[in-house]
Each structure stands twice: as C-alpha cells, then as structure tokens.
Chain A
C-alpha cells in the first residue's frame, strides 16, 4: 500500500507554492524531501497531512482519496511531527506521550497501553523523564518526547498489517550528534517495521545516508526523485542551492564550498 500524489498544485493569493507534483510513498521506505528554503517542502507535507482543504490534484492514501477520509480516520493512518508549539500547562512527559494514544476502543487497554508507553519511551531515550514536567526539558529532549508521541499514535498490537505512515519535518533539529544519530536509527527501525516515512531534512549527508529515495524540490516543483546516489549530483545540487558542491563517491559524501 502507498500514498499516491497526482499533479498536486497549491497557491495562496495567486502565488504558486506547489506546482504539479506527482510522487509515491511506499510502506516500508524512507522518502526524504530536500531543497532550499521556500521550495515548498513544508507546504507539501502540510498538504499530505490534510491540513489544507483546497488544492488542485489528488492525494490517495492506500487507494482512498484523502478528502474522503474522516479527520479521525486520518489520525489512524498517519502521524505528523513538525515545529511544536509551547505547551502552556504543566503536563508531565508521560501525559504528553499519552496524547498520541488514539481512541480506538481497543480491549485489554491498560496492559497493552502501559507496556507500549514504557517501550517507546526507552526507544526514544526519555524513560527517565516520564514523571517530570514536560516544560522543564531541553529543546532536544522535548523533540524526542514529541517523537515518542507520534510513535504511540502509530503503535498497533503485534501482528497487525495496517499500513501506516509517518511525516517528519526536520526531526533532528535541536538534537546533539548522538541523539541525531539515535533518532535516525530509530526512524530506520520503524521503516523496517513497515511504516512509510516522509522526511524533510536539511542535512544532505544525513539524507543520503538514511533514505531509500530522495525527492528534490525547488520553487515548488519536483526536480528529481530516485535513489540518493542517482539523484544527488554535483550539477543538480549546485544549481538548486546556488552553492558550489562536489560529491565524493566513496565514501559517499557531499562537500560544499
């Protein structure tokens, strides 16, 4: 199953933000979108998330038009993590993670629930903070808590074959190198569990290392899409970023000057 985007276009007040983009995101793969600021990457993710109601073109989730999927149903199919807002009240870390738990009337509620929270908290390295107030955490730690929340949202009893997708806009921002690597490894793990991942990254080397495919955006258009080694060329990158770039092949590494 996959997400299919056909001829997607979107404009605000006669200004075109996204222009005729078509692509596919499969289950069990990581598709990373890269491109300069203002290329339309975040807008693209918003459109796929269902945040925006009117646009041109079609978006299909597992063969069903996005507009035909109810707001609640959508939350069962995909989770989204982007820039988070300040949380005004003193929720604990555990309470924030629990917010990803969806109301699906699953039986044997408590046992599964508590185990899942524990497990995911450990995966995201926040299990020591569970009873702490969320607002006392550092920026990076908060990010990991939000990530844990999106993981709980997609959590299913083992053996479930429901297709699920994860959209992440700059998930490694504010993370130190250790936790950046940990997060990417975790995303990879989830991909291997069958989740389809749409990622936006600004770090090209990170993108090259972890993505199955890369989509290159520029000025709202899809410049190229394919395997990292194929689409990441000196010529393409230098022209869209306006910066001289040279790519080493072995080990694969993007250098800029």
Chain B
C-alpha cells in the first residue's frame, strides 16, 4: 500500500526522466559502482573527476580521487572537484547533502535502478543519453550486450520451469548468514537467472537462523566473496556454519562471486548472471 502511494507521488518525476542530455558532461562525479562500470563500458572514463568507494572496477578506478562512501558524501568535497555533472543512484546520501548539492545548482542526476536484465539495459541507455554518446562503436557495444541479454533471458525462462530454489548470502554475521529477502538486489539477481528466492517471506537483507536455512532447503547457495572473507574456502564455510546441514552444501552446490559484479546491476552483472544461469540449467 505504501509503495503504491509513493509510486503515484514519484510518477510525475519519472515522466520528466532523469535521462535528459546533460549540458556539460566534461567533468563527471559518480556515486555508484554500477554507473562507473557503465561509463568505462561506454569508454567515457577520461571525463571522470571523482568516484565513490563502491566504484572499484576496473582497476584504473583507483587513480581517480575518492569522494568517500556513497551514503556519507560531503558537499564541499564533491564541489571541490569542480564537477559539471554528478551521477548516482537512489542510495546516494545523506539526503541533506544531496539536497544541498541540488540547491547549489549542480547538475545532479539520479539514475533509476530496475533490478533486471532489461533494467540494466535501460540504465546503460540512460547514462549514454545523459553523456550524449552517439558514436556507432558504442551503440554496437550495446548491441552485443543485448545479444547476451537475450541469451540470458531464454535460459532463465527455461530455468523458471524447473523451480530452482536459490539462497543468496551477503555475508556472515557471526554464524548467521545475512540473506537476500524480497526487494533486494540479491532477489533481483536470483530472478534474473530464472531461480526462485527461498527467502520469500521477508523484505530486505536479514540474518537467518539455522532452522530457517534447513527449512528453506535451497538447491544452490550463492555468497559474495567479501562475505567469505573470514573463511579460507567454500569447504571451511560449509563445515563450520549452519550451512553444513543443507543439501546444497552436501552436494557441493555453494558458489562465491564478487559482490559488485553480481549485485551492482552494472555491465558485469549480465555476464555474471549468464554464467550462473548456465550452471543452474544443468
């Protein structure tokens, strides 16, 4: 009910579309790893003057000044880079700072995120429109990506009929895994590969008890690489935690993957999803 209300409230804004071409995309600041990925994909990276800490791919990003954590930005810090355009996603914050940046007349565009393959495509198109990219080569790259997406969607459709239960873990809080519930990037990823999210009864990222893990009984378990950091390998992860008792663990169906590559919903997410979709289809 709450969501419908907000949807109607925001509807007028979405019609105006944040994807309008920017007047001056010569100095760009980005707060959002997936957007940075997209800018590199579109080969526009030499215009970047500042990026946040979630923008860690590709490696070249380490040479660009960091504006800090996407949810704890600094007005003056960003302004000191003299940007002509600021791009970010909905998680840019804190809200007071975003407000302040807008009030200084900064061109600040918030890119909509729809967590699906189609959504990623729209994101890329939106960013390229803002940056005014028209050259044929870049459009070709998008075409190639579209091919991957179509392949992904066909495999995913087949997967859907197989009713594949997947559990996606962000990290371990002690011995309890933090699992993707409804309306999370993890949930979006699972849907992209055509699987069914076992955690259908709660929203957001929440820690789960051992009993619930067993009750969920997922076919496959995915965990981010950072979530694995306190374990030497998948084996020790499955042996020392409650995951031990799942079928997935016993059958060796636990996979780890770079968190941003999977949940960022940037360019890499397509390839990553394709990978997993193929694995799960077998």
A/B touching: CB–CB < 8 A: no
